[in-house]
Structure 1
């Protein structure tokens, strides 16, 4: 008998695709980058509803007040909590896929023999590095003080999956390097070889914007200002005339959009993961009686008090009898949230907001953002294979309005109050709001102003607790407000302050579609004097648990998940 060598028995399966056989040409890279975009679009990367719950923006889930069992709202989450685990897993899935494309693109560079393919190779590499950098941007700003494992390559053995945590500074340097490469090698706008738009892909402007925010979050205001001003001046972005263009399926991928995840109902193929299902389902007032997050009472008061510019004709409406009047609420308020007595806006097919949802059990305000409140019933949503209701609304992760306010923050910190007011007022004027500053001042002297002289102290307070919330609440890649409260060093204080406030419900009458006056009981939220001897409304209190439970060392960041601690023996070596 004739023996055989041992390696004769070890053969590659010719029917399997492996890294050695797949990454051979530009078409393979095209497939690969699509897989990275698919991972980046997973809502678990952002966990918007859970991030809202652990901020000061939302009263979190439950059937009705005062019952609340949400661990993120109560600040009792830990390393085994679902959001902690799933966000981590999804972000590292994005990184794992990006690393495969990056390795392949670097290997194939210089092998094509034609300029077009080489250029496309560079652009695919830049997209993959942007998406990897963005995943690390989120990990760094949300987990373990920024100290997380760094994977810059594709593991080739079991031990390759075990990594110790890197320092926060190492992660910061790494993802900034990715974003700088993307900024230098991505186009500002996308058009393919057939002169067809590829809008929705990541761009150089988005990379510069994230770099600016990374320096802002670090407290390096001069460098942040430089990057943010580049975004404002060099990439052709502009504020949309209507702020509502940024929140629903209307006017998606518009001139204000910097970073946006594209969703659609037209190519679902039965896959519920192809859309932002849970966000739409858990925020809307038209979907039932269980909510993942509703607008916090303090924020409702701010939206209701957002002052109009009475010199701006956009605030004028024509009544049924032909006479003119002014809007009840600002355009920014009406497009951002649904308040029961907002008669100037429709809601889920009803001619007035208050007729479009129940507004009961002390749920008096819902976000319009992310929801299909403006569409006809058959166009709003479809049912996914897992029974969830799926929305086709794109996720706007970053838009120019945010960059204007970020830039204004840098100017306040650097002592240029006039420059800060200039950009805050650009945002306010877009929504026909009363402008900040003395009467007759600034870029728009003939518009209404609040006639307040601003300094660093009172303008900072306004920016933090009025302008950022009213313009940007319930937006972004999830957790922006938590990052802000943490970097300002005021999160515990903020919960304590809000827990001391008191509210009550107010009823009012509204005319229904048949012309009959009906009561909306307790459908409006009003703030009352906390020292009032008649305060008998504890069911309206908010953030009581958070004020007690929040601990900076345990809750400022998400902890590293226990699943990672168990699976990675080298984590703390």
Structure 2
């Protein structure tokens, strides 16, 4: 962790509880003359133990390596950009959910490693003679991290029916657990997060050097609210989110981009983030980052970028590019009254009025938008991709090249997410009676990015429809340059301000625009829990044929228009993705090595 020293030598107390081969289990070596029996002696050992749990969040199947790439590809914001990428990744992009895919086993195995380490702390720390306040808080952190890992397992695999280890396995046989029913799994998740909530201090009371990144009362409360929301207990979700809001410990950052850079880490909006850093020589973390070649960096930036140091595993879809491009800004907001700097085709700067929302500017670079992208104007040199847009979020686009090792932290949950989830919970619990309360928080998120209020958007007056074309940018084109037969799901037109319509707006537009390419599959889980079904949404978006246009730029007249079938999202995914794919199957490798898994 950036400020907390991670003890990478704790391998002696680490074993994989579920999803490890017999050889792997039996060959866990005592590399430092320590073992689980004699290690846990004092407060320093307790702190080293909890730091090892935090470090496991960097594993490739949790938030390092390929897991974030794979979750991004499952959302409506992403498509794979590199046809030479692995077959496993292409399967995920095309929604071929195969139990033999090793990427699913990576997720399964590494999440259970988090659980194992947390169980070590929960078992051994109570017996240590140490400061009781520190003991209570370390146990609170362990319960939080176990609850978080089990939440990710329960919302990812086998409809939530997964093994539930509550003590560290002492033998291979003890690690071979059968699945527990979803109800039991989530009962334990609630219990763990409530224990964490009761034992952790708030962020304002973490004092001393190097405490950033540790779990807090706010983190436990926000994640607990999210679990309730996912389980459709909207009343309890609303209550937990309101606790976070009313605590006054958090506030939206003035600049949304502070949530996606190293300079903006641990800001006022961040509730919980996983730390990465690039101060070790070994290349980005495709393994667990431990052992003889430790690494604590993330490959997210190189995965997002084509060229400029990246390998382009993930590209923006036409849908998300169009969504960002056509968000309607409010010229009367102070953030939109200051000019923005743009660069011509020789990268010379000038100033002009803002055209795009600030969350668009922080998230994506369009061909020809005049922004600087790795030191060059998008009007001068832009590595062309099909959607004519590159992802900027969580990259170093402001440098000349994307570094192989990135130290940008992964924000797991931030206040904007709490605001929008709170609004959703209020609307789903109270219906139209909750509209005024919900709009208060939705509009705070929107106006931070310079957008008109949701009420104004729903009026549909003077707002452009989402454009079916992807290039060139027609934001300023007159109406004859707009394609009229836009798919209804993408239109900005007048609609009634009802709870049902606002909820669908949150899923269709607000949450994709705010959280694209963030967290551990935020948009993927949103697809799964849509009231109208995620598979339906992918099929709906996959039917759109984007139109290539040629314009007389001087007169803004449409000279030529044709449909190009290559300009289409989800051609394979819309066929393959069904309601049965909302959860991944138990990995085939786990079934082969655990004879008890289905007992």
Aligned to 1:10: none
State which of 58, 65, 72 in structure 2 corresponds to 1:41. Answer: 58
Show CA shifts across 1:212-251 (max 9, x none): 0111111111111000111111151000000010012231
Identify the residue that residue 183 of structure 1 maps to in structure 2: 197
Q: Give runs of aligned pairs for residues 515-534 of structure 1, distance below 5 A.
A: none
Candidates 16, 38, 41, aligned match of 2:33: 16
Q: Does 1:227 align with 2:234?
A: no
Which of 390, 411, 434 matches 2:452?
A: 434
User: What SS class does the counterpart of residue 183 from structure 1 fall into?
Assistant: helix
Q: How does 1:388-467 map to 2 (within 5 A)?
A: 389-413=404-428, 414-415=430-431, 416-437=434-455, 453-467=496-510
1:288, CA displacement in angstroms?
A: 5.8
Q: 1:350-369 counterparts in 2 under 5 A?
A: 350=376, 352-355=377-380, 357-358=382-383, 360-369=384-393
Match of 1:537 among 564, 567, 582: 564
Deviation of 1:62 after TM superposition, in Å, equals 2.5
CA shift for structure 1 position 507 = 6.9
Superposition TM-score, scaled by structure 2 size:
0.79
Structure 1 position 97 matched with structure 2 position 117: yes
Is residue 60 of structure 2 the alignment partner of residue 29 of structure 1? no
Q: Which residue does 2:527 correspond to in 1?
A: 485
Secondary structure of 2:405's partner? strand
> For residues 365 and 275 of structure 1, what CA distance do their matches in structure 2 show?
29
* Deviations 1:363-421, CA, capped at 9 Å, x for gaps: 411221111112355xx52xxxxxxx211111111100111000111122122111111
The correspondence of residues 341-352 of structure 1 with structure 2, limited to 5 A, is 341-343=368-370, 345-350=371-376, 352=377
Q: Determine the structure 2 residue equivalent to 1:244.
A: 257
Is the partner of 1:543 in helix, strand or coil? Answer: coil
Shift of 1:536: 4.3
Task: Say whether the 8 Å CA contact 1:58–1:293 is kept in structure 2.
Answer: yes
Distance verdict in 2 for CA 1:269–1:198, change over 3 Å: farther
Distance, in Å, in 2 between the alignment partners of 1:398 and 1:285 is 27
Aligned to 1:326: 353
Pick aligned residue for 1:371 from 384, 395, 405: 395
- Asked whether the 8 Å contact 1:190–1:197 carries over to 2, the reply is no
Instruction: Determine if contact 1:401/1:427 at 8 Å carries over to the other structure.
Output: yes
Alignment partner, residue 468 of structure 1: 511
Is the 8 Å Cα contact of residues 286 and 357 (structure 1) preserved in structure 2?
no
Partner of 2:179: 165
Q: How far apart are 1:323 and its partner, in Å?
A: 9.6
By how many angstroms is 1:432 displaced?
Answer: 1.2
Report whether the alignment pairs 1:307 with 2:307.
no
Q: Give 5+ residue unaligned stretches, structure 2.
A: 1-29, 290-294, 343-347, 460-491
Tell which deviates more after alignment, 481-490 or 421-430: 481-490
TM-fit CA distance, 1:192: 6.5
Per the alignment, do residues 490 and 325 of structure 1 end up closer, same or farther by CA in structure 2, a change over 3 Å counting?
same
Residue 519 of structure 1 is matched in structure 2 by none
Aligned length: 511
**Which of these residues, 337, 359, 362, is aligned with residue 335 of structure 1?**
362
Secondary structure in 2 aligned to 1:56?
coil
Partner-residue secondary structure (3-state), 1:258? strand
Note closer, same or farther for the CA distance 1:363–1:68 as it changes in structure 2 (3 Å cut).
farther
> 148, 153, 159: which one pairs with 1:134?
148
1:106-132 Cα shifts (integer Å, max 9, x gaps): 222xx34xxxx1211111111111111
Counterparts of 1:222 and 1:366, CA distance in 2: 39
Offset at residue 275 of structure 1 (A): 3.7
Q: What is the Cα deviation at residue 327 of structure 1?
A: 1.2
- Alpha-carbon separation, structure 1, partners of 2:311 and 2:349: 40
Contact 1:312 1:432 in 2 (8 A): yes
The answer as to whether partners of 2:435 and 2:498 remain within 8 angstroms in 1 is yes
CA contact (8 A) 1:40 1:131 kept: no
CA distance in 1, matches of 2:498, 2:336: 29
- 1:159 is displaced (CA, Å) by 1.6
Aligned to 1:50: 70
Cα distance change, pair 539–270 in 1 and its aligned pair in 2 (3 A): closer
Counterpart residue number, 1:293: 314
Q: What do the CA deviations read for 1:84-142 (whole angstroms, capped 9, x no partner)?
A: 0101111011111111111111222xx34xxxx12111111111111111100100111
Sort the Cα spacing of 1:125 and 1:277 in 2 relative to 1 into closer, same or farther, 3 A. same
Q: Give yes or no for contact 2:278–2:297 (8 Å, CA) kept in 1.
A: no
- Give the superposition deviation at 1:568: 1.0
Mapped to 2, the partners of 1:73 and 1:304 lie a distance apart of 24
Per-residue deviation, residues 463-485 of structure 1 (Å, max 9, x unmatched): 11110011111112x22222222
If you compute each CA radius of gyration, which structure gives the higher value, 1 or 2?
1
Deviating more after overlay: 75-84 vs 209-218: 75-84
Is 1:566 the counterpart of 2:564 in the alignment? Answer: no
Rounded to whole Å, the distance in 2 between the matches of 1:285 and 1:564 is: 35
Deviation at 1:36, TM superposition (A): 0.8
Q: Give the 3-state SS of the residue equivalent to 2:109 in structure 1.
A: helix
Q: How far apart, CA to CA, are the structure 1 residues paired with 2:196 and 2:548?
A: 51
Task: Quickly say closer, same or farther: Cα 1:68–1:159, change in 2 above 3 A.
Answer: closer
Match of residue 71, structure 1, among 84, 91, 100: 91
Greater alpha carbon shift after TM alignment, 239-248 vs 31-40: 31-40
The answer to which of 233-242 and 322-331 deviates more is 322-331
Inter-CA distance 261–506: structure 2 relative to 1 (3 Å threshold)? farther
What secondary structure does 2:586 align onto? coil
Aligned to 1:156: 170
Q: CA deviation at 1:265?
A: 2.0
